[in-house]
Amino acid sequence: MKILITGGAGFIGSYLSNALSQNNFVFILDDFSSGTGLLLEKNSNIKIYRSEINKDILENIVKNVDLIIHLASIVGVDITIKNFKKVIQNLKNTLILTKIAQKYNKPIIFSSSSDVYGLLGIFKKKSFKEDDFFVFEFSNRWNYAHVKCLEENVIRLSNLPFIIFRIFNTYGFGVDLKKPSRVFASFLYSIIFKKPITIFGHGNQKRAFCYIDDTVKGFILGVKYLIKNKCKETFNIGNDKEIYSINELKDLMIKIAKKLKILHEDIDVIYLPTKERGDIFTDIEFRKPDLSKIKNILGYEPKIDLKTGIELSFKKALKFKNKWIKLLQK
Ligand SMILES: NC(=O)c1ccc[n+]([C@@H]2O[C@H](COP(=O)([O-])OP(=O)(O)OC[C@H]3O[C@@H](n4cnc5c(N)ncnc54)[C@H](O)[C@@H]3O)[C@@H](O)[C@H]2O)c1
């Protein structure tokens, strides 16, 4: 098959492009705004277009592919709070892409986020299901989630075959390489470069951590299912077993770094009030995906526990350390 991956030079995109290019031809469209392509393997089955999403390039690529995987996005709540225009640009890009996909009748996989469940984690301490309702406050904190909801609707209303994946906390080496800000990326950076770890709030808020290889396996199951069944489905994707607080994540990462002899002594930990992350920042205490739908329909089962995922991430970070330093200096 021929597949277009927008945002293919980013974190999820790089791992996914490498995996899919084993048996398919992958076109990557990426402006390298947050992506670096560092982890992309040299492979004659990958062709990279270094550009923002725009109509002309998309026209050329989309008519030649069997499937579109749309990952390109400004990502992360902290960044999106400060860049309202860029969040709106996400929506405009999804509209442009969907229109061209409609013209050539191409199925789409869209990457949404667990953030669309909004404040549900405050009211409902169980796991979130795809047909749950959403609860938001009107604040910049929720711009990213609001726009993801609208983008989901653009895809749903397109009448094209689609899969929407609501991604719950995927981690691994390669997140935010240029500017480590998301939680796993910032802890990994602090430990590898021996800088203080910063935690916003008390650190007892819990998350379900999914290693990148499991997310990629889920996407590949989705690709096969979508091509075969021309479905219109929304799935949570993540890991429903690896639930840890931010403090526990920090402790585990430090312990494993010591075992791997990356750290020889303790590292400073700084706790900052949540409001330091932006105006009216509401953090969610608990977030866990209900995965029954994706398990039943796609046969998805996450396999990699947090301890193993951290070890794999550290090993990769060491392998790429020199190239990473060069990226950070740019
Ligand atoms: N990693 C997670 O845990 C997570 C969770 C929820 C949702 N998601 C979603 O998954 C997708 C991929 O996320 P990621 O973690 O790989 O982030 P990422 O920042 O590494 O990847 C996004 C990629 O899109 C590119 N990009 C951004 N704007 C672009 C534009 N206008 N034109 C072309 N390229 C553009 C960036 O350069 C980058 O390579 C995003 O849509 C994100 O919202 C990820």
Give the nearest ligand 1 atom to 33 CA: 37
Whole-angstrom distance, CA of residue 234 vs CA of residue 314: 32
Ligand 1 center to 84 CA (angstroms)? 16
Q: Which of 4, 11, 146 to mutate to test the pocket of ligand 1 (most atoms within 8 A of CB)?
A: 11
**DSSP-based three-state secondary structure for 311:** helix
Instruction: Let me know if domain 2-174+209-241+287-304 sits in CATH 3.40.50.720.
Output: yes
Tens digit of each residue's pLDDT (9 = 90 or more) over 244-302: 999 999 999 999 999 999 999 889 999 988 776 665 556 677 789 999 999 999 999 99
**Contact (Cβ atoms closer than 8 angstroms) between residue 289 and residue 240:** yes
Q: Is the CB of 75 under 6 A from ligand 1?
A: yes
CB 222 within 8 A of CB 166: no
pLDDT at 140: 82
Residue 132 beta carbon below 6 angstroms from any ligand 1 atom: no
35 CB near ligand 1 (under 6 Å): yes
Q: Ligand 1 centroid vs 250 CA: distance in angstroms?
A: 24
Tell me the residue ranges of DSSP E strands in 46-122. Answer: 46-50, 67-70, 108-113
Query: Is-contact 291 240, C-beta < 8 A?
Result: yes
Atom number of ligand 1 nearest to Cα 176: 20
pLDDT score recorded for residue 278: 60
For the chain, the structural domain boundaries read 2-174+209-241+287-304
Nearest to 3 by CA among 66, 51, 63, 59: 66
- Residue range 81-103: average pLDDT? 94
Query: What's the maximum distance between 2 C-alpha atoms anywhere in the chain?
Result: 59
Q: How far is the CA of 73 from the centre of ligand 1 (A)?
A: 4
Ligand 1 atom nearest to CA at 52 = 32
pLDDT in tens, 129-153: 999 988 787 888 888 999 999 999 9
Helix (H) or strand (E) holding 328: helix 321-329
Helix (H), strand (E) at residue 27:
strand 25-30
Q: Transcribe 192-253 into DSSP letters.
A: HTT--EEEESSS--EEE-EEHHHHHHHHHHHHHHHHHH--EEEEEES-SS-EEEHHHHHHHH
Side chain identity, residue 240: D
